Structure 1
Amino acid sequence: MPNLFEDDRCYVLGDTELEILGDRDKLAQWRHKGVGPAYYKIGGKVIYRGSDLNAWLAANRVEPSRDSTR
């Protein structure tokens, strides 16, 4: 799968591309719990690097089991 985010771009809250991860409140919850993608906090501004977002997405990929019994 190609990267969903541009590796060399910085994304800030309010960028529509971030909505694929969740809304502003969801991203804030993840930052508070320490479970979301890596970010920078400069002053009061939250900045996500595209490469960090892509790495986080890849690490959270779920591979369904072909042998699932339900």
Structure 2
Amino acid sequence: MANLFEQNRTYVLGDTELDLIGDREKLAQWRHKSMGPPYYKLGRKIVYLGADLNAWAEAHKTDPSKAGKS
């Protein structure tokens, strides 16, 4: 698996790297709907771990060559 995010880094809202998966509003919608990548809420701060972001991205990977095949 290729890592889109640094494994050992923490990301907070406003980090431009998070724009790869969604803007600030989209991430907020996902959190409200209990969707999206895992996160920590520390006081008023939202923190994402790079390892969690990579695992979430990998779980949502689509391989067009395998679409519709069983």
Q: TM-score with structure 2 length normalisation?
A: 0.89
Unaligned runs of 5+ in 2: none
Q: Distance in 1 between matches of 2:10 and 2:43?
A: 16
Q: TM-score with structure 1 length normalisation?
A: 0.89
User: Aligned partner of 2:54: which letter?
Assistant: N
Q: How does 1:13-24 map to 2 (within 5 A)?
A: 13-24=13-24
The change in CA–CA distance for 1:27 and 1:63 in structure 2 (over 3 A counts) is: same
Moved over 4 A (4+): 65-68
- Among the aligned pairs, what percent are the same residue? 62
Q: RMSD over aligned Cα, in angstroms?
A: 1.5
Aligned length: 68
Max radius of gyration: which structure? 1
Unaligned runs of 5+ in 1: none
Q: How does 1:1-70 map to 2 (within 5 A)?
A: 1-65=1-65
Q: Distance in 1 between matches of 2:36 and 2:44?
A: 18
